[in-house]
Amino acid sequence: MVMQILLGPQSPAPNLRQAIESIQADGPIVTITAGWRDSEGEVEELREIAGHPLEDLMLYQRTEQVFANEPALYELQRERQEKLKELQRLYRIRLAPTITAARRLLRTRAEADLLKLEQRAAIAQLRALDTHHLRRIQTIHQDFNQRRAGLEAPQASAQRDEVHQLVKNAGLVLIAGGHVAVLLNRIRLFGLDQLLALKPVIAWSAGAMAMSDRIVLFHQAAPQGKRDAELLDAGLGIVRKRVLLPHADTRLDWRNHKRMALFSRRFSPATCCTLDNGSVLHLDDGKIVAAKDSFIVTRTGRKRAVSTV
Amino acid sequence: MNPQIENLYRDGEPSEVTIREFLQSSQFPLTEPGHVTFVFQGQADEVNLRRWISGFNTSLPMQTLEGTDLWILRMELPNKSRFEYKFELVRGGNRELVLDKLNKVVAHDPFGANSVCQGYGYKRPAWTRHHPETRPGTLTGFQMYSQAFEGHRDIQVYLPARFRRSRSYPLLVVHDGADYLRYANFETVLNNLIHRLEIPAMIVAMTQSPDRLVEYTGDTRQARFIGEELLQEMNSKFPLIDNHRSRGLMGASLGGVASLHTARQYPKRFGQLLLQSGSFAFSDLGKHQKGPIFDPVVRFVNEYRKNPIPVAEKLYVSCGIYESLIYENRSLVPLLQAQGMQVNFEEARDAHNWENWRDRLRNGLSWLFPGPLWMVYE
């Protein structure tokens, strides 16, 4: 049995220390703060919050060093990122009309039987688009992995071995929030996906998002107006069938039940779980066994406490 | 008549106690959808409302309320509008401008203070107020010698929270920076917008001219000071991203003119321009009527209108619809767009004042410098 704990943002009231104490780690604690990018490794404040010694894996900086010395690998990575960026742009072009249609159908009035089927079909189209997008992303990752396997990259291999050893020796891995795409990318570059699945992990905000099998970007209160939620990538898949929503209190428009209902139904059968400051989800082998201050978005766009079934 | 005033007369002429209770329990000016009612209590021969609204009759007489020492004036005001005002008291032939003692909302500017009328539905944006969870940046400063001005200039510098010398930051240069700090809560706004990830952590250089009526009116010394000397100095002192897209220049009123003029002198040196209620006076025919201070402004704007060029990548232009400059700003926008620049023009139900400029900062800065909020979940 492997214990994972997912938390919300650690500000203003951190709850990381309680989470660490509940795990009773058998070995040193290592941190992944690659999502902080060039502030990676500045863990003094985190040490204070955690109340334990921490060692950062420095995935972001290690990657920068590797790329500086392994130009072929850097070029491969750059090419992948360009493709992913372009694919996301194309996805957005298709997403806008598809989601607009679904939203309009959820708002319009018509004979109930007629309307229900059209609404279902519109949401199914939206799901199909997300699934298609995810498949395309996977193809790009597979291509990258195949080409990378054929590359001689001794520095990358050495760094990877070193990081793997640190993780193997660790009793607990903490994954901090930050830039979710960078965080996920660095974890993958070091091939930590499978290793992390076997370790006790505490992850919060973007760290928690990266643990799931679907990463959804969202913000309905952005200064330049509401933006439709987008599927970014698959995540590590350690937590399955959960869309994790940090800062849900401020980022989601809870007063707009129709919008929230569509959000929930679009990602079904996955359950959308909020992770705000103070939230805790305890998972055992990926299943939720205890929850505090975390809510799911219901089919009708409302909040309901996460059940621990 | 305003319903609260009507209510005052429900049982006939109000007693002193009723009036006192009314004054203590109401918020002034009295607002209702589409209207506002000003109330003044006191003895005078005449009381006038002086509105700082351009393009309207700015002095409106108030009427006495029968059997009381109250003066009132009810006027139309679109919801969420805002303007500044004072009462003009006429006593024994003397005229005196005073703040509205019944209204606690006061706006300050370099010329003093005015009472603020907030129309029905106006709410001061939360991001303009101190938030206890926001990590504050720091203000520092330095003095530099300007060859253009042959003298020293003080620069105030805002450094974002968690500033690191090892990182590189975008740079925003601000005309009338000290005024933005004092009257537009600029430091709080920057702290909040950065904390909310709506703009990236950035370094802000704030300049303040000792003679803005000359230096901000299309003065090539000012352009050289900002476009060459200050940039060089900032680059030598702070870790800045060396790319024009990560460099912005902003200002309000004549500060807007100075920003556009500098950008015209040094095209594309600043990728982002934020121009608030710019005093872009011009003349199509004959001599302008704005006074000699505007001669160089009109020369510059006329010249730019005649020979427009792209000066930046993106411009956020805002202006209040209760200021006469709305005409000049509306005229400028299509000209800027025609040069292939991205222009975001915002009209506000507000006037020529610092709080108008404060309230537009979120829209302007987050459009010019989009923050990482879409990808970052801390």
Q: What ipTM goes with this model?
A: 0.96
Written as six digits, the tokens of B249 are 């220049």
B272 DSSP 8-state letter: E
Residue A44 maps to a domain: no
β-pairing, B314-320 vs B272-276, is: parallel
- A-side interface with B, Cβ within 8 Å? 9, 11-12, 35, 38-39, 177-182, 205-206, 209, 217, 219, 222-224, 227, 246-247
Dihedral of CA A117/A120/A124/A126: which sign? positive
What token pair was written down for B18?
Answer: 């009723």
pLDDT tens for each residue of A208-258: 999 999 999 999 999 998 899 999 999 999 999 999 999 999 999 999 999
Strand segments, DSSP code E, in chain B are 30-32, 35-41, 46-51, 59-61, 63-64, 70-76, 82-91, 94-98, 106-109, 112-118, 138-146, 151-159, 171-174, 203-207, 247-252, 272-276, 314-320, 342-348, 376-377
pLDDT at residue B12 in the model: 85
* Parallel/antiparallel/unpaired status of strands B94-98 and B171-174: unpaired
Taking contacts as CB-CB distances below 8 angstroms, the residues of chain A near B166 are: 38
Task: List Cα–Cα distances, B212 to A51, A54, A201, B215, B218, in angstroms.
Answer: 54, 54, 59, 5, 10
Give me the CATH number covering residue A196.
3.40.50.880
| pLDDT value for B110 | 78
**What per-residue confidence (pLDDT) applies to B59?**
87
CA angle B354, B119, B320 (to 5 degrees): 40
Contact B301, B282 (CB under 8 A): yes
Six-digit token string for B1:
């008549």
| Residue among A217, A246, A247 minimizing CB distance to B375 | A217
Is the full-model pTM beyond 0.95?
Answer: no
Is B374 within 8 Å of A219 when comparing Cβ atoms?
A: yes
Smallest Cβ–Cβ distance between A224 and the set B166, B366, B378 belongs to: B366
Q: To which H or E segment does residue A103 belong?
A: helix A71-107
Q: Which residue of B has its CA nearest to A7?
A: B378
**Cα dihedral B267/B269/B273/B275 (nearest 10):** -60
- Do the chains contact at B375 and A219, CB–CB below 8 Å? no
Tell me which residue in A38, A179, A223 faces B376 most closely, judged by beta carbons.
A179
CA-to-CA dists, residue B46 to B87, B92, B285, angstroms: 10, 10, 41
Asked if the structure places residue A46 within a domain, the reply is: no
CB atoms within 10 A of CB B292: 6
Q: What is the pLDDT of residue B56?
A: 64
Domain annotation covers residue A47: no
In a domain, A251, yes or no: yes
Our CA-based measurement puts residue A70 at a distance from the nearest CA of chain B, in whole angstroms, of 23
Interchain CB distance below 8 Å, A205 and B378: yes
Number of domains present in the structure of chain A = 1
B4 touches chain A (CB under 8 A): no
Q: Tens-of-pLDDT digits for all 378 residues of chain B?
A: 888 988 888 888 888 999 999 999 999 999 999 999 999 999 999 999 998 876 566 789 999 998 899 999 999 999 999 999 999 999 999 999 999 999 999 988 877 899 999 999 999 999 999 999 899 999 999 999 999 999 999 999 999 999 999 889 999 999 999 999 999 999 999 999 999 999 999 999 999 999 999 999 999 999 999 999 999 999 999 999 999 999 999 999 999 999 999 999 999 899 999 999 999 999 987 788 788 889 999 999 999 999 999 999 999 999 999 888 999 999 999 999 999 999 999 999 998 999 999 999 999 999 999 999 999 999
The rounded Cα B304 to chain-centroid distance in angstroms is: 24
Contacts of B126 in chain A (CB under 8 A): none
B167–A contact, CB cutoff 8 A: yes
Q: What is the pLDDT of residue B57?
A: 63
C-alpha to C-alpha distance for A225 and A228, rounded to whole angstroms: 10
Interatomic CA distance for residues A38 and B166, integer angstroms: 8
Dihedral sign from CA coordinates of A257, A258, A263, A265: positive
Residue A213, amino acid: D
Query: Which residues of chain A are under the pLDDT cut of 50?
Result: none
pLDDT, averaged across chain A? 96
Q: What pLDDT does A156 receive?
A: 95
Please report, rounded to a whole number, the percentage of residues in chain B having pLDDT higher than 70: 99
Using the structure block, give the residue that is written with the tokens 């500017």.
B109
* Ordered domains of chain B (ranges, CATH): 26-118 (2.60.40.10), 126-368 (3.40.50.1820)
Average pLDDT, chain B: 94
Tell me the pLDDT tens digit for each residue of B323-342. 889 999 999 999 999 999 99
Nearest-angstrom CA–CA distance, A100 and A54: 47
Q: How many CB pairs under 8 A join A and B?
A: 52
CB contact under 8 A, A206 and B374: no
Nearest residue to A39 (alpha-carbon basis) of A21, A58, A22, A23: A58
| Contact at CB, B375 and A179, closer than 8 angstroms | yes
The SS3 of residue B139 is strand
Place of tokens 């020529």: B352
Report which residue type is found at B373: L
**Structural domain boundaries, residue A79:** 1-38+52-309
Question: What are the pLDDT digits (tens) for A22-33?
Answer: 998 999 999 999
